[in-house]
Amino acid sequence: MGHTARAFWLLAPGEGEIRAVELPEPDPGDVVVRTTYSAVSRGTETLVFGGRVPRSQHASMRAPFQEGDFPAPVKYGYLAVGVVEHGPPDLVGRTVFCLYPHQTRFVVPATAVTPVPDDVPAARAVLAGTVETAVNALWDAAPLVGDRIAVVGGGMVGCSVAALLAGVPGARVELVDADPSRATVAAALGVGFATPDAAADDCDLVVHASATEAGLARSLELLADEGEVVEMSWYGDRMPRVPLGEAFHSKRLTIRSSQVGTVSPRRARRGYAGRMAVALRLLTDPRFDALVTAEHPFDELPALLPRLADGTLPALCLRLRHGDG
């Protein structure tokens, strides 16, 4: 077992590097994982990269194995898949998912990893954390048979939600995004697609995941009487204006929040392991491969994050391929 690894650290807002790190000696209940893939959770991680986590949210925004503090220096991330090199015999050699930052090898308690089913490719399993968020969204939204549903915002979370909503019997599901290229992803997921101006209205439910004022306003416009917007966006240090005039009151509309940080009380009894097991079972579906639109070596991450943050790298999900550490 190697005692060193390489990890991505945010040195200052907008500036990161890959550093050599020493691994701690594993305790009897720990596992040592050699990372094969990690993925960038674009919305949250670009906010962290830009130093835009509000001071009031520093504690709640900590990743499970984060090192350092916001705004920087900090080691952040939570979508990692690897192979257990050392640990309990039933886990050694297994492919596992863990909410760990971008690092080539790491040591965590065995309870912090979730075995990846044999029929889920490791490269797809990096989406498990995002799909878990989508699972929580559906538990909050509780869509009904035949509902008219729009998902506004075709990022990783929005597309994951749309993929799950496609399974609601009789539902009309439309992914709404300003980028027309998302139509290809929507088709792969088995849902409709529209730009904001052309989206179908009279919706019973709208899931908003664009993290923009315009997206939230359009979400409200798409609702039928007594419809509901489930707000999944996290705005960081921004204070978006919410249009509560016009027909908001006369149509008796509702806006409610949903994020994986606070799990739907209807399913809280399942715990983290149970929720992650659901997400990984869902990832047996090859439709989710459409969410990964770029893959690069881990060593390129310091140069890739600025491009993700400014939009010059228009990846839906950026997957990182790790070497031997």
What is the CA 190 to chain-centroid distance, rounded? 20
What's this model's pTM, rounded to 2 decimal places? Answer: 0.90
Q: Where in the chain is the domain with CATH 3.90.180.10?
A: 4-127+283-321
The CATH number of 131-257 is which of 3.40.50.720, 3.40.50.300, 3.40.920.10, 1.10.3210.10? Answer: 3.40.50.720
Positive or negative, the CA dihedral 27, 95, 106, 76 is: negative
- In this structure, how many other beta carbons lie within 10 angstroms of the beta carbon of residue 63? 18
According to DSSP, the β-strands at 148-152 and 113-115 are: unpaired
149 has which bridge partners?
173, 205
Q: Where in the chain is the domain with CATH 3.40.50.720?
A: 131-257
Nearest C-alpha neighbor of 211 from the set 249, 259, 262, 253 = 259
pLDDT tens-digit profile, the chain (325 residues):
568 999 999 999 999 999 999 999 999 999 999 999 999 988 789 989 999 888 988 888 899 999 999 999 999 999 999 999 999 999 999 999 999 999 999 999 999 999 999 999 999 999 999 999 999 899 999 999 999 999 999 999 999 999 999 999 999 999 999 999 999 999 999 999 999 999 999 999 999 999 899 999 999 999 999 999 999 987 777 788 888 988 899 999 999 998 655 555 555 566 677 788 899 999 999 999 999 999 999 999 999 999 999 989 988 899 999 975 4
Check whether domain 4-127+283-321 has CATH 3.90.180.10, yes or no? yes
Give phi and psi for 124, each to the nearest 5: -85, -25
